[in-house]
Structure 1
Amino acid sequence: MRVLVVGGGGREHTLVWKLKQSPLVKKIYCAPGNGGIASDAECVAIQGDDVQALADFASRERIDLTIVGPEAPLVAGIRDVFESRGLRLFGPTAGAALLEGSKVFAKRRMQRYGIPTASCEVFDDPEAALRYVRRAGRCVVKADGLAAGKGVIVAGSPAEAEEAVRLIMVERAFGDAGKAVVVEELLEGEEVSVLAFTDGKSIKPLVASQDHKRAYDGDTGPNTGGMGAYSPPPVYTEELHERVCREILEPLIRGLAGDGIVYQGVIYAGLMITSKGPYVLEFNCRFGDPEAQVVIPRLKTDLVEVVEAVLDERLDGIRLEWDPRAAACVVLASGGYPGRYEKGKVIAGLNEVPPDVLVFHAGTGLAEGKLVTSGGRVLGVTGFGATVREAVDRAYAGVEKIRFDGMHFRRDIAHRALKSGG
């Protein structure tokens, strides 16, 4: 089987790493890939959002299966384009991907299907939004469209909420994603990410994880695309898992089907575990990043077999098997991320990382034969252990060996689990 992975970050490197283990796979391409992926797949100089060029490549190279990593191509309709040309692609259609592409669409569907989520108001007029947040107090302001994981601002006061509205709707810091905003009540609790495979009828949840969005230790600083993750989070009990399936995942897929939207692929539920139970913060239409770097390595089942079952609508016959060990991933970022940062810093020490620690490349490239930084999030270092503590220790053992100018990382990944004795 010839497989194409779309994207060029740590999530995509994790997918390539997993696909290489399948006896069904003979050749892997990645578009556009990165400096590390180039060691595991043939990188193709096509950007992930160039849907037509990707379809042309897949047709020309007789690609049997395409797996999409990032959200932008899915929201842009890559599944629809590939299907119209007789090409198999894993990921939802544009209509289904609106769950991530539009916060307004997602909130209205959750309300219609009775899925627990924060109460909210929607605004497409900045002045109306400003009047509302002046009275609302603490709240969460979300850009309606895609904003690379950075369009959500937690406002601790009316002044911060006003600043968020101006940033998103007036200054258009996230472009057209800020044409409208969703202003939500601020939920209190602990966040958990739950992903699930679905063929539009059956649902197979993956092991839960918890990521770290804030840039600095103690969950301070600006939101990023994710500074690390670990699995499993102790707060996510078997009882909670049953509730999430019964109250969130099943009603979502059933409700979408009832609306004529068949969702196939991975559904990502970002949850807040409150004193009243799980509430949905957001839905994403793809594997999380960096959640993928701790969840996919724990999956023992052949990923290709699962993907094929999803596309053939026979997921109910698949049994997912998991590595019982915990996993933890520490993201190494460029200095200044998620703000301005420099590229082209030489990366050293990868050959010194312990062999039982995985290093997934996110923002790396090759320059004059040397591996250099090319993005904000540069590497994801994943360790394993019988406990979360052991997994975290192994990940940081790998981090200690890696060096590049300006390297920044959080030193408290999985701090909630460690405080609870995980």
Structure 2
Amino acid sequence: MKILIVGNGGREHALAWKLLQSDRVKQIVCVPGNGGTATLNRCQNLPLQVEDFAGMARFALVHNISLVVVGPELPLSLGITDYLRQQNIKVFGPTQAGAQIESSKAWAKDLMAEAGIPTAQAAVFTEAEPAQAYVAAQGAPIVVKADGLAAGKGVTVAMTVEEAQAAIAAAFDGQFGAAGHRVVIEEFMTGQEVSVLALTDGLTIRPLLPAQDHKRIGDGDTGANTGGMGAYAPAPIMTPELMRRVQQEVLEPAIATLRQRGIDYRGVLYAGLMITPEGEPKVVEFNCRFGDPETQTILPLLETPLEDLLMACAQQRLREMPPIVWKSGASACVVMAAGGYPGTYQKGQVITGMDDAESIGAVVFHAGTQLKHQKILSDGGRVLGVTAIGDTFDQAIANAYEAVERIQFEGAYYRRDIGYRVRTASSSLS
């Protein structure tokens, strides 16, 4: 089979890498791809924009593409699935209506209320003045979210009323473009966050291994929010009992309510959860696609052929699939970013040492890179995701950092405490 992957990040490189482990996958085409996908065997980049639905459709029909896998949220929110399905092209990814679960936080909150899904209390505002009055009455800490897509940077966890007021003003002043024309203000929840990515065909929903991301730029979870600086899996805080509760209280009600609204949701439903100090799972947000960098740490542990799962979702026969099989052990991913990220950063830095890193068993997933004149250059804020597995978390994390230390590019920055919650508590996993 031939598969077209939409996107150019570490998540898409990881999807291509995993799919190419199957002999049944003859070719991968990435639109537009990156420096990593450009160097994979049986993989080619197609220089189209992710919004060029017509161009992708023409290519898919001419080249007999078996399945289109959509990585980023933007083309999903713009209706790529609807467009391709109209031309009888199989797609893994929800329709535009389903993608609202990520593209509008207010819409997602309404869906959660209808479904009875546990989440933070919230209020929605379309003007700054009443939003600021609400914050003044509620006090801090409090969370301010731009309603629309803001590339993972539209959320402010405000520890003071003044910080929240400033975030509201910035949103309505256009910091996040159209995404900030409406804001959702939520109660502040305490606990540990965990990501549960689940595959669904709109009828059946099956979770993948739980992962824990590290959103802040600095060690000790300090500094600005980012798209994610590293992750590990399986997150021990998500016990089997908690996973059963998430299945019954979050995932199944969400899919059932989407279906009741007439939405045929096929793809990933990603639940970003807060596990409260009392052990209760509450939804922080939903995403409509694979997480990044969670995908880079989950897929190396997957034994079941990925193409079978994705095609089963696209063809609405996930219920027929046997249970998903996983490798034992643990996985860790450390993101190497450009100096200055998530603020202003430089591109075009030559990257070396990746072969050396992979020689010790790590996998280097390219996020913001390009191949130019036979050299790999940095081309984004998050440049690489260096992933390793091990029998224990300590081994996986140590292997990942050993690989990171073999890679060089000017201004490279990475957190040195990825997995700190499980480092000392780590023991052999079965």
What TM-score bracket applies, with the shorter chain setting the length?
Answer: over 0.9
Given the alignment, which residue of 332, 351, 362 partners 2:355? Answer: 351
Aligned-residue offset at 1:187:
0.2
Aligned to 2:227, the other structure's residue is in SS state: coil
**C-alpha distance in 2, partners of 1:222/1:52?**
38
Aligned-residue offset at 1:356:
1.0
Query: Residue 271 of structure 2 aligns with which residue?
Result: 269
Aligned to 1:153, the other structure's residue is in SS state: strand
TM-score, scaled to structure 1: 0.98
Query: Residue 19 of structure 2 aligns with which residue?
Result: 19
Cα deviation code 1:173-223 (max 9, x no counterpart): 111000100000000000000011111111111000000110110101111
Letter of the 1:402 partner, please give it: I
Cα deviation code 1:92-148 (max 9, x no counterpart): 000011000100000000011100000001000111111111222211101100011
Structure 2 residue 44 is matched with structure 1 residue 42: yes
Aligned to 2:156, the other structure's residue is in SS state: strand
Query: Residue 317 of structure 1 aligns with which residue?
Result: 320
Aligned-residue offset at 1:245:
0.5
**C-alpha distance in 2, partners of 1:119/1:200?**
27
Letter of the 1:341 partner, please give it: Y
Contact 1:267 1:286 in 2 (8 A): yes
**C-alpha distance in 1, partners of 2:234/2:2?**
33
Letter of the 2:47 partner, please give it: A
Q: How does 1:225-374 map to 2 (within 5 A)?
A: 225-276=227-278, 277-318=280-321, 319-353=323-357, 354-374=359-379
Given the alignment, which residue of 61, 73, 81 partners 1:71? Answer: 73
**C-alpha distance in 2, partners of 1:342/1:182?**
33
Aligned-residue offset at 1:275:
2.8
Aligned-residue offset at 1:311:
1.8
Cα deviation code 1:45-89 (max 9, x no counterpart): 012222222222222322111101111011111010001111111
**C-alpha distance in 1, partners of 2:128/2:56?**
38
Aligned to 2:24, the other structure's residue is in SS state: coil
Contact 1:335 1:342 in 2 (8 A): yes
Query: Residue 139 of structure 1 aligns with which residue?
Result: 142
Structure 2 residue 73 is matched with structure 1 residue 90: no
Given the alignment, which residue of 154, 157, 177 partners 2:157? Answer: 154
Aligned-residue offset at 1:397:
0.6
**C-alpha distance in 2, partners of 1:380/1:102?**
28
Query: Residue 383 of structure 2 aligns with which residue?
Result: 378
Aligned to 2:300, the other structure's residue is in SS state: helix
4+ residue stretches of structure 1 with deviation over 4 A? none
**C-alpha distance in 2, partners of 1:367/1:357?**
24
**C-alpha distance in 1, partners of 2:331/2:426?**
15
Overall identity of the aligned pairs, in %: 51
TM-score, scaled to structure 2: 0.96
Aligned to 2:334, the other structure's residue is in SS state: strand
Contact 1:211 1:229 in 2 (8 A): yes
**C-alpha distance in 1, partners of 2:313/2:25?**
17
Structure 2 residue 6 is matched with structure 1 residue 6: yes
**C-alpha distance in 1, partners of 2:156/2:424?**
26
Q: Which runs of 5+ in 2 are unaligned?
A: none
Contact 1:134 1:161 in 2 (8 A): no
Contact 1:229 1:294 in 2 (8 A): yes
**C-alpha distance in 1, partners of 2:312/2:354?**
36
Aligned-residue offset at 1:342:
0.4
Cα deviation code 1:299-357 (max 9, x no counterpart): 11111111111122211121210011100000000000011100001101112113410
Contact 1:197 1:203 in 2 (8 A): yes
RMSD: 1.1
Letter of the 1:323 partner, please give it: K
Q: Which runs of 5+ in 1 are unaligned?
A: none
**C-alpha distance in 2, partners of 1:232/1:303?**
18
Aligned-residue offset at 1:12:
0.2
Cα deviation code 1:262-313 (max 9, x no counterpart): 2111110000000340000000001000000011111111111111111222
